[in-house]
Amino acid sequence: MKFNTKTIHGGQEHDKAYGAVMTPIYQTTTYAQTTPGGHKGYEYSRTHNPTRNALENGLASIENGKYGLAFGSGLAAIDAIMKLFKPGDEIISTSDLYGGSYRLFTKVYEDFGIKFHFVGMENVANIENYINSNTKLIWVETPTNPMMNIVDIEAVATIAKTHSVLLAVDNTFATPYLQRPLDLGADIIMHSATKYLGGHSDVVMGALIVNNDDLAKKLYFIQNASGAICGPMDSFLVLRGIKTLHIRMQRHCENGRAIAEYLANHPKIEKVYWPGFENHPNHEIAKKQMGDFGGMISFIPKGSNYDDAIKIVEKLQLFTLAESLGGVESLAGHPASMTHASIPKTEREKSGVVDSLIRLSIGIEDAEDLIDDLAQAIG
């Protein structure tokens, strides 16, 4: 089955009870047993729920994985990965990453004795300097949020395998429409399904996809033991969202290109971060590992400071000033005061998240309307 077909049919079967074509919302907690343990595969919905299972099978299918696991948020999914480790273990992460992931690593798991190294991975050779016998995981976000840096997943996977270290990739920005990290050698794919997979800004959810039986067993144990699952209604919404992922992503990419090019040619814009530009430092890697370049763009207005950036995002009419990304509607954000405020200023500026940086999540509206809105806000 090819990708577009998988988004609709992958891992799905018609409902066993009445043949419903779309998996129903099993808003159910518990399941009748004829004798203790005598059930039809479902006992209690923290452990298994038919709607969540349909989603998990779909997630596995579109990422070319064997196992999918859905959680109550992207951070709950990352939290489940962290619970694989113990005090003394070390994790190497991209230095430019979602602020909430950074906060979970440094404010929660460092207190449990896990050590994190934040490393610029545009040059993968940097990673080797931090690997030692305690290293257990390499955490990669690519494209990175919000600087749109690209990390060569295949090259990092080679390093991870050489040192018997796990590789996890946050595939939220790219989605499996653009890149499939398990195929490139990663062990775990993580998603904030809140974003493109759900696609309609109406659900918060996280997901993990793996191939390895043993790793899947451990993660399913943590999912059930810690209980950070998502509900049936949310599972239904993301399952529905995935069915149009390919056509939404195609438009996100087309609009992303049009707006990135518009901004790059605008006399009042100093810098545009988008991996589709030939002069992007990792454009060749983006071309190699991604099918297209996505709808996330960051930019810096010329000679601007914190207040100038705020003025622009406040003036936007069609773009909504809001946290999050990946929905059908275009959003604008100011990372320094919003998504990345939990990263200390000195740390975030080291990776380029300066006060004047603006991040756009390009939706699937008409690109001309979005450009008109940017034109009036930039002035």
Ligand X SMILES: Cc1ncc(COP(=O)(O)O)c(C=O)c1O
Binding residues for ligand X (CB under 6 A)? 73-75, 98, 100-101, 141, 145, 170, 172-173, 192, 194, 204, 206, 324
Indicate if 96 belongs to the active site. Answer: no
Residue with tokens 């071309």: 287
Q: How far is the C-alpha of 210 from the C-alpha of 208, rounded, in Å?
A: 7
| Options 195, 257, 348, 359, the catalytic residue | 195
Indicate if 103 belongs to the active site. Answer: no
Smallest separation (angstroms) from ligand X to the CB of 190: 7
Q: How far is the C-alpha of 47 from the C-alpha of 62, rounded, in Å?
A: 23
Smallest separation (angstroms) from ligand X to the CB of 218: 21
Name the strand (E) or helix (H) holding 79. helix 74-82
Smallest separation (angstroms) from ligand X to the CB of 306: 21
CB contact at 8 A, 102 and 343: yes
Exposure letters 11-48 (e unless 16+ CB within 10 A, then b): bbeebeeeeeeebebbeeeebeeeeeeeeeebeebeeb
User: Is the Cβ of residue 192 or residue 304 nearer to ligand X in the bound state?
Assistant: 192
Indicate if 170 belongs to the active site. Answer: yes
- What number of other Cβ atoms are within 10 A of residue 305's Cβ? 11
- What number of other Cβ atoms are within 10 A of residue 284's Cβ? 12
User: Is the Cβ of residue 175 or residue 282 nearer to ligand X in the bound state?
Assistant: 175
Q: How far is the C-alpha of 273 from the C-alpha of 256, rounded, in Å?
A: 11
Q: How far is CA 251 from CA 161, 292, 319, 329, in A?
A: 36, 11, 16, 12
Q: How far is the C-alpha of 350 from the C-alpha of 362, rounded, in Å?
A: 26
Smallest separation (angstroms) from ligand X to the CB of 323: 7
Joined together, the tokens standing for residue 102 give 């950074």
User: Is the Cβ of residue 204 or residue 269 nearer to ligand X in the bound state?
Assistant: 204
| Options 98, 102, 109, 262, the catalytic residue | 98
CB contact at 8 A, 286 and 278: no
Indicate if 195 belongs to the active site. Answer: yes
Smallest separation (angstroms) from ligand X to the CB of 130: 22
User: Is the Cβ of residue 23 or residue 93 nearer to ligand X in the bound state?
Assistant: 93
CB contact at 8 A, 359 and 335: yes
| Options 79, 170, 355, 373, the catalytic residue | 170
- What number of other Cβ atoms are within 10 A of residue 354's Cβ? 17
Joined together, the tokens standing for residue 199 give 């696609």
User: Is the Cβ of residue 80 or residue 269 nearer to ligand X in the bound state?
Assistant: 80
Q: Which residue is nearest to ligand X (CB)?
A: 74
Smallest separation (angstroms) from ligand X to the CB of 216: 21
User: Is the Cβ of residue 70 or residue 114 nearer to ligand X in the bound state?
Assistant: 70
Smallest separation (angstroms) from ligand X to the CB of 91: 15
User: Is the Cβ of residue 169 or residue 260 nearer to ligand X in the bound state?
Assistant: 169
Handedness of CA 96, 99, 105, 106 (dihedral sign): positive
**Catalytic (active-site) positions:** 46, 98, 170, 195
